[in-house]
Chains A and B, each alone.
Chain A
């Protein structure tokens, strides 16, 4: 029997959906999980576990720091089991904002991931799928690696993803790498030194103090842009980085060029560092002459932020 809704009910539903879509009302993280047999044949194995704040250390055995660095709010974990006792684990992380969720998604991304049409962005790996949508990062893992559960993983992720109303926006900083004539790949959005050290280690504490950053590959070369609170802080951290690079035995041949400097690593790679307003641009794998056209484009793009 068709239910006839009143005008008031329709308005309430419309307003609620609109608020969800613009992020004014938080989805209950528990509600995002598939229910028993929502995916036919799969039911919740045990209890659902929820973790908030620093309690994440009791959820992730050793890997909580990176989530906390990006900005972590809460996480939920649930194992699903089918009739032949095969399991799929779903983990949903609510991050502090959509950039944080995008960041942890990019941090975890690797070249082995194949794009999938789930959420706002998704990568499918051999036995798991990772998805970014709005303020959420989610991961569904097949715990039985002997069976190909690819389709089921996608279905689980899609069920969860569809319950998240908003898409989320990529950080504005990602636009900086829209470079004419260059094709960048493997973009990773950074919120601190743990993520940076996993992309490239400049030496402990060398590139620090930034509010956000971004890195990408340009073939074998790497681009970095770091954002500081203001021009002054940027200059302070730039001077600190220059001093630390000079002292670091991994690098040599430092030359000051205008406001920036270049140097080489012992493995023979060239590095260019240039401050620009409240940003520091670093290019790994190019001489200063090679880097100049890229830096010029990056500066134009940074002006648009």
Chain B
């Protein structure tokens, strides 16, 4: 079920419950006007041009960050940040909002599972306002493209329980050690997988050698089927606790690096079901979710459902 709520409807509904709403926005840290939906949504989609606030709204629709990040929790963030052109990386306003929400929820540690360059944060118009928060964010310094294995930061797996294709991998230790794993992809085009989103973003926790194996180790070069299965298999090592996908502005061809043709939808999609979130982002890209091998295989592996219309999806247009 998808329920779309426009700003006007939202204001009317909010009025009914006596919430204080000013021009469709909410005061961060104050009474959540989105308590109307709090905890009821499986997937939240918030459309609007203020990406920082809309990220917070999306999480509030899901029940608030406290639902995902208990006080004292160690949080691992996987932000698709390491690209240079607009539409190829997660808008930093979204990432800043996530960091702020984790701090506000009382996280004891926030660790970026990949290196995030200063230039990335500086692309945000809110950088000066929130840069103080970034001192709270640790990062796995050695997980920078093209990353190499070391005993301190990575762990090797020679067998993945339940995996169909992935025979071995090397992943960031912190990914497995954190209490809460928040996956923050951008839903954009990828030449081989068509969509790179929540599921494929997991390649960000593995070494370059492991990732090249995803591409080449099937025995057939450039095998999209094998690649998709490896992506899904790697998810079996650790469940995603929360996923916040950037569908604000993204490339629809020449991905993942671009430059490519841009589409601007101004949408943020959040939930815990990576398969459903990928299915939604696939439709934004103009494809059928059934065409995306990682989505189909993700559903087969029990990671979620591509039939997101069966979930409670609440879309808010701000």
Q: Does residue A73 face the partner (Cβ distance < 8 Å to B)?
A: no
Given contacts A60-B257, A141-B259, A198-B194, contact A65 B208 (CB under 8 A): no
Determine if B83 and A194 form an interchain contact, defined as CB atoms under 8 angstroms apart. Answer: no
Given contacts A65-B191, A66-B192, contact A197 B222 (CB under 8 A): no
Determine if B259 and A68 form an interchain contact, defined as CB atoms under 8 angstroms apart. Answer: no
Expressed in whole angstroms, the Cα–Cα distance for A110 and B263 within the complex equals: 14
Determine if A54 and B216 form an interchain contact, defined as CB atoms under 8 angstroms apart. Answer: yes
Q: Does residue A304 face the partner (Cβ distance < 8 Å to B)?
A: no
Stretch from B66-74, B99-107, B248-256 that touches the partner? B248-256
Q: Does residue A237 face the partner (Cβ distance < 8 Å to B)?
A: no
Task: Kindly list chain A residues whose C-beta atoms are within 8 Å of the C-beta of B211.
Answer: 57
Within 8 A of B (CB), among A181-225: 192-194, 197-198, 201, 204-205
Task: Kindly list chain A residues whose C-beta atoms are within 8 Å of the C-beta of B167.
Answer: none
Q: Does residue B24 face the partner (Cβ distance < 8 Å to A)?
A: no
Determine if B253 and A110 form an interchain contact, defined as CB atoms under 8 angstroms apart. Answer: yes
Q: Distance in Å from the Cβ of B263 to the closest Cβ of chain A?
A: 12
Bitwise interface map of A from 105 to 130 toward B, beta carbon under 8 Å scored 1, else 0:
00110101000000000000101100
Most chain B CB inside 10 Å of its own CB: which residue of A60, A62, A68, A197: A62
Q: Does residue B42 face the partner (Cβ distance < 8 Å to A)?
A: no
Determine if A69 and B256 form an interchain contact, defined as CB atoms under 8 angstroms apart. Answer: no
Bitwise interface map of A from 141 to 158 toward B, beta carbon under 8 Å scored 1, else 0:
101010000000000000
Q: Distance in Å from the Cβ of B93 to the closest Cβ of chain A?
A: 17
Q: Does residue B145 face the partner (Cβ distance < 8 Å to A)?
A: yes
Determine if B225 and A65 form an interchain contact, defined as CB atoms under 8 angstroms apart. Answer: no
Q: Does residue B85 face the partner (Cβ distance < 8 Å to A)?
A: yes
Determine if B261 and A110 form an interchain contact, defined as CB atoms under 8 angstroms apart. Answer: yes
Task: Kindly list chain A residues whose C-beta atoms are within 8 Å of the C-beta of B196.
Answer: 62
Q: Distance in Å from the Cβ of A282 to the closest Cβ of chain B?
A: 17
Determine if A61 and B82 form an interchain contact, defined as CB atoms under 8 angstroms apart. Answer: yes
Task: Kindly list chain A residues whose C-beta atoms are within 8 Å of the C-beta of B254.
Answer: 63, 108, 110
* 26 examples of A-B residue contacts, CB within 8 angstroms: A54-B216, A57-B208, A57-B215, A58-B208, A61-B83, A61-B146, A62-B190, A62-B192, A62-B257, A63-B190, A63-B191, A63-B192, A63-B255, A63-B256, A65-B192, A66-B191, A69-B221, A110-B254, A110-B260, A125-B259, A141-B85, A141-B259, A194-B224, A197-B224, A201-B194, A204-B224
3 nearest CB pairs, A to B = A62-B256, A66-B191, A58-B146
